[in-house]
């Protein structure tokens, strides 16, 4: 079984990619949205949250685990968890003249992507926190979301590679591409999925959340209807 971990709903885009690779795979998606957002947790607390979530996924039978969340991936080097794959990997990003990293506050301030891309000629970073909230709420085409996107990208539109350092941002990729038509847009989580060994299974697919299961199902259905109907949504009643 493959496990996918994220704080919110964005990890479902990785789930969709996995299911496109093999629709028979046994999979569990774990959204820890009942906890303090991973991007706001202090590093010791975040390490504890990730370790506990990984332990839970393993208890459900996951033998490979993708930590799709970039904030959570920043603490993986200190945890050394076998069979756990993060998404901050420089090999996923081809060299370019000007690389833009869009991410949440913790991801950007951690410097993890800047260090990972130290061989790139120029790396600029932008905190794009409002975009995460917009996607989490399912407000993809909302005028306020478009305004945030224009403001965040305005100073960096010359970048020729855009690293989507948050699982939510792939939902906005068409809008980003329209504003930066020359740019190569890369979602490292989806690239990491393509590197996984996806075993054939019986087609068991579960989506668990420590948050509101009804809201999770509703937003998932709005964002990815073809995937949401394939998942059995469950509430986990013991948020850590």
pTM of the model: 0.93
Q: Which pLDDT does position 78 carry in this prediction? A: 93
DSSP-assigned beta bridge partners for residue 46: none
Contacts of 60 (CB under 8 A, 6+ apart): 1, 3, 28, 206, 208
What is the three-state SS of the chain? CEEEEECCCCCHHHHHHHHHHCCCCCEEEEECCCCCCHHHCCHHHHHHHHHHHHHHHHHCCCCEEEECCHHHHCCHHHHCCCCEECCCCHHHCCCCCCEEEEECHHHHHHCHHHHHCCCCCCEEEEECHHHHHHHHCCCCCCHHHHHHHHHHHHHHCCCCEEEEECHHHHHHHHHHHHHCCCCEEECHHHHHHHHCCCCCCCCCEEEEECCCHHHHHHHHHHHCHHHHCCCEEEECCCCC
What pLDDT score was predicted for residue 193?
Answer: 96
Quick one: how far is CA 177 from the chain centroid?
Answer: 19
**What pLDDT shows up at residue 238?**
62
- CB of 86 closer than 8 Å to CB of 78: no
Which pLDDT tens digits describe the chain residue by residue (240 residues)? Answer: 999 999 999 999 999 999 999 999 999 999 999 999 998 999 999 999 999 999 999 999 999 999 999 999 999 999 989 999 999 999 999 999 999 999 999 999 999 999 999 999 899 999 999 999 999 888 999 999 999 999 999 999 999 999 999 999 999 999 999 999 999 999 999 999 999 999 999 999 999 999 999 999 999 999 999 999 999 999 986 644
Q: Which domains does the chain have, with CATH numbers?
A: 2-87+191-235 (3.40.50.1860), 90-188 (3.40.50.1860)
How far apart are alpha carbons 103 and 109 in whole angstroms?
A: 9
């Amino acid at each position: 079984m493959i496990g996918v971990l994220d704080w919110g709903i964005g990890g479902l885009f990785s789930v969709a990619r996995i299911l496109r690779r093999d629709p028979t795979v046994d999979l569990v998606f774990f959204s820890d949205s009942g906890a303090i957002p991973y991007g706001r947790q202090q590093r010791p607390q975040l390490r504890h949250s990730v370790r506990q979530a990984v332990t839970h996924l393993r208890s459900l039978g996951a033998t490979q685990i993708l930590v799709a969340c970039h904030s959570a991936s920043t603490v993986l080097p200190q945890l050394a968890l076998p069979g756990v794959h993060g998404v901050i990997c420089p090999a996923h990003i081809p060299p370019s003249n000007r690389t833009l990293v869009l991410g949440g506050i913790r991801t950007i301030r951690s410097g993890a992507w800047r260090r990972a891309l130290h061989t790139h000629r120029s790396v600029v970073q932008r905190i794009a926190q409002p975009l995460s909230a917009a996607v989490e709420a399912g407000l993809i085409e909302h005028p306020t979301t478009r305004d945030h996107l224009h403001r965040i990208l305005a100073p960096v539109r010359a970048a020729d590679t855009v690293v989507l350092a948050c699982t939510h941002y792939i939902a906005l990729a068409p809008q980003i591409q329209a504003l930066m038509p020359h740019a190569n847009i890369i979602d490292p989580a989806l690239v990491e999925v393509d590197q996984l060994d996806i075993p054939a299974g019986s087609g068991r697919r579960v989506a668990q959340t420590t948050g509101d299961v009804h809201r999770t199902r509703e937003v998932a259905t709005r964002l990815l209807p073809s995937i949401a109907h394939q998942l059995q949504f469950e509430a986990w009643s013991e948020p850590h």
